[in-house]
Copies of this chain bind each other. A is one copy, B any other.
Amino acid sequence: MSLDLFAKGLSDPTMRASVLAEAVPYVARFRGKKIVVKAGGHSLTDPKVTEDFISDVFLMHTLGMKPVVVHGGGPQITEWLTKLGLGAEFKNGHRVTDAASLEVTRMVLVGKVNRDIVSGINKHAPVALGISGEDVGLLTVVQRDPELGFVGDITEVNASLIDRLLAEGLIPVVATIGSDRTGQSWNINADLGASALAAAVGAHKLIYLTDVPGIFRDLSNPTSLISQTSPEELEAIIADGSISTGMLPKAEGSLRAVRQGVMSAHIVDGSLPHALLVELLTDAGVGTMISQLKEDNP
């Protein structure tokens, strides 16, 4: 049956009612749970993917979950650096960030990508609040590596800000710019930022939306997708060096989050229709799931 025919069926209220009656209780197990969703900058370049993502986040909120959105913005930053005649250089997957490019990075992340997500959600209902890691000391950092310039590693998360916003019924949308004690801003890898936030707020799930199906045991073998793994196994796979550069911070972020109490971390292809919702609607899950207990995790 095609999705079109299906959609036609749904125009009948009785059928809509049947679907709701079956599906809602299924996702109701996540009611009141904090779920950190990290959307990559690549996903946010496709309007349809962005719209699905925003509509799914809002639906999670409507169904009583407590989503926290963390976003990247790599392609967008590169685009504006180029417009301004500034180059983009990377080392080990991290953008080398001098003062000029930090300024642009912050403007693009906080003043553009973040804003677009916030406005998109607020079109449904005014519940999204955009914040940066600089707000109220949310993300405190130290320099990661002098060679990378203004790239920071998180040393402290002010989780209470997120908790207070969630308690007010809001959806925090977080740009991963941090600050140090001197008030200096720092760029933070959004994958690691999402992981640190998920651990600090005691999230139930951490979901990475990316543009590949998940982690592969063998990068050259498309049938080797790992659908579920434990932190121990994942650590071994990382040590093997069989994880791609782009996937590495997601893998490490998943590992840290689960080790610090997050029930499960998920790496999912965000370009699938309603990828986020589908993840929540399936027992087996889609993409790769990292969790403490292989069998029993909801």
- In the assembled complex, the Cα of A124 lies from the Cα of B5 at a distance in Å of 32
- In the assembled complex, the Cα of A122 lies from the Cα of B139 at a distance in Å of 12
Given contacts A84-B83, A103-B112, A136-B128, contact A274 B21 (CB under 8 A): yes
A83 closest partner in B (C-beta): B84
| Complex interface: chain B residues within 8 A of A184 (CB) | 119
| Complex interface: chain B residues within 8 A of A52 (CB) | 21
Establish whether residues B123 and A183, one from each chain, have CB atoms under 8 Å apart when the complex forms: yes
| Complex interface: chain B residues within 8 A of A220 (CB) | none
- In the assembled complex, the Cα of A124 lies from the Cα of B137 at a distance in Å of 11
Establish whether residues A25 and B136, one from each chain, have CB atoms under 8 Å apart when the complex forms: no
Q: Does A294 count as interface, using CB distance less than 8 angstroms?
A: no
A166 to chain B, nearest CB (A): 13
Establish whether residues A25 and B107, one from each chain, have CB atoms under 8 Å apart when the complex forms: no
| Complex interface: chain B residues within 8 A of A282 (CB) | 13
- In the assembled complex, the Cα of A13 lies from the Cα of B281 at a distance in Å of 6
Q: Does A278 count as interface, using CB distance less than 8 angstroms?
A: yes
A58 to chain B, nearest CB (A): 7
* A interface residue numbers (CB < 8 A to B): 1, 3, 5-10, 13-25, 27-28, 31, 52, 55-56, 58-59, 62-64, 83-84, 103, 106-112, 114-115, 118-120, 122-132, 134-137, 158, 161, 164, 168, 170, 177, 179, 181-185, 272-274, 277-278, 281-282, 286
A95 to chain B, nearest CB (A): 16
A279 closest partner in B (C-beta): B13
Choose among B28, B56, B110 the residue that contacts A62 (Cβ–Cβ < 8 A).
Answer: B28
A19 closest partner in B (C-beta): B19
